[in-house]
Chain A
Amino acid sequence: MHPYVLAFIGGGLIGVSAVLLMAFSGRIAGISGIVAGLLPPKPADDRTWRIAFILGLVLAPTVLAVTTGDNRIAPPTVGPALLVAAGLLVGVGTSLSNGCTSGHGICGISRLSPRSAAAVATFVATAMVTVFVVRHVL
């Protein structure tokens, strides 16, 4: 299958997940929020579904590996020092803005949230500038 068709179908599956989670539990499928709710200093009370969701995420490539022989996970493109710096920025940024690509990008945009639209425009812009500077300026 053409990679773009597969990408659209994969995106559709993410949408199915978001719709089911809203239909059954009334919750937003935002990964940064789901994870942050498990963290100190004050973890959320509803930890069961959060832990189960994260287990489900990790289980997906594992099942793919067993059934198709390919977990479809590619290696990182940068070294450990940059990964740590990037991880810190992603953690701080998504917590400050209460959402990431899934919560703001998919769920928020689908709810026509002005906050999410502003967040997506901002993080896509700074990400593009970052890649431009790293690849074409430095």
Chain B
Amino acid sequence: MPQPPGTHVELVDVSKSFGGVRALDEVSLKIGRGSIHALVGENGAGKSTLGKIISGVLTPDRGQLLVEGEPVTFHSPREAITKGIVLIAQELSVVPALSVAENVFLGTEPQKAGFVARRALRRKYAELAATAGFQLAGDLRGRALRTADQQKVEILRALGRNAGLIVMDEPTAALSRPDAERLHEVIRHLAAGGTTVVLVSHFLREVAELADEVTILRDGHLIRTAPAAQETVGTMLSAMLGRSLGTAFPARRPVTPQAKVVLEARDLSAPGVHEVSLEVKEGEIVGLAGLVGSGRTELARALCQAQRITAGTVTMAGGQLARASRSALIPGRRSTPRTALKAGLAMIPESRKEQGLLFGRPIGENVSLASLGRLSELGLVRRGKERNAVANVLSQVGVKVPAQSAPVATLSGGNQQKALFARLLLAGPRVLVADEPTRGVDVGAKRAIYDLLTELAAEGLGILFISEDTEEILGLAHRVLVMRGGRIAAELSGDDMTEAAILGAAFGAAERGA
């Protein structure tokens, strides 16, 4: 492919922080016109943030963005669109009830006296589709489209707004192999036609095949920008490795050899999970790593019976908790989060706001919710007993509250997370599945949660610790499972537990194909 003439977008010393966490630190790079420029890095390396800054979704704290050599400050995606820059986010936004053509020209429909000029709309759509080289009927309804076709609608929508630069965030993450290949063709066609494409992707093989240039980020820092021809999956991976800042982790206490297995899954399958087998021993912290979308959360939900399993068994030390029924018509005893909790398996869900807390309710009610049976007599809540139990467990997890009757929403993010820990600890579990317990909390609260997890393990709890932060997993876990594509891709322990090994397995460096 001929090297494109001139620079389309340039970033100079761009920095962006979220609540004290530096997501991007003085990143500078140039994106050539008509090129396919890939942004790669680990989870949280800053690649999505960079894509969002280019497309005006985020405004940088410091630094300068130049489009066509001209300094610009975008405060909204709308302002970026006026400069011909459009973001296609991971979550697509096709209106189900409108046709493809209407979706493409949404908000910019050709009009006649306030009515949509249908004939003009059809003609404009045909022209646009021909320029882009797409075969997609304009009269299909949005709801009838597969993900791959929805993506085409988004691309056409971008082109319809005269986009000169399209930022695509993980465009192939939700696509099947052939659809991904077809999208690659589309992207090549766009670039050949002079459109610049910024590709944020987890798939290094895709990047190596598709991109003209690659920018590698780590921890918010720019590692390098280089022509893709000079990179391989291996060189990109090694550049993504290594962390600079060393958060202090509490000392790990070894698991005694005679520790019993408390949680066991055999050939467990569920939506997004394929034939996973694992064990957690008492006093053991098992780290569960993997990229976003690799099935970590799905596995956690399947283990804790929040999601129906389709095959396999889950067993707690006391006895079998759940097994997939052979017949859909004659289900066995249906297991639910309630039965899991009773068997001693508790989960800190991924989103404390959507799945964890009762936001409008008082702190006390939130903490006692899973243990009310024990705190009541004849169905009446013993309020004195409840207050004492809640106060005790809150002090155990280290939360000071103004009053138990204050709404839980008044607590800081870190304390909300600890209140969620308190709820589950009060229920007296033997195994705790913690899905991203440190997401969105500040550094101090992170450390407190690390201490808490270590203490709980020392008291004999088995812990399955899910995190997208590799360093966190390495700092806390006795053993690490790495997920990829819904399966356990690697099990690492002892000296094998390295960032390189985890990332290698997570990105599938050893496998063939994408």
Instruction: Tell me whether A and B are bound partners.
Output: no
Q: Tell me the A residues contacting B by CB distance below 8 Å.
A: none
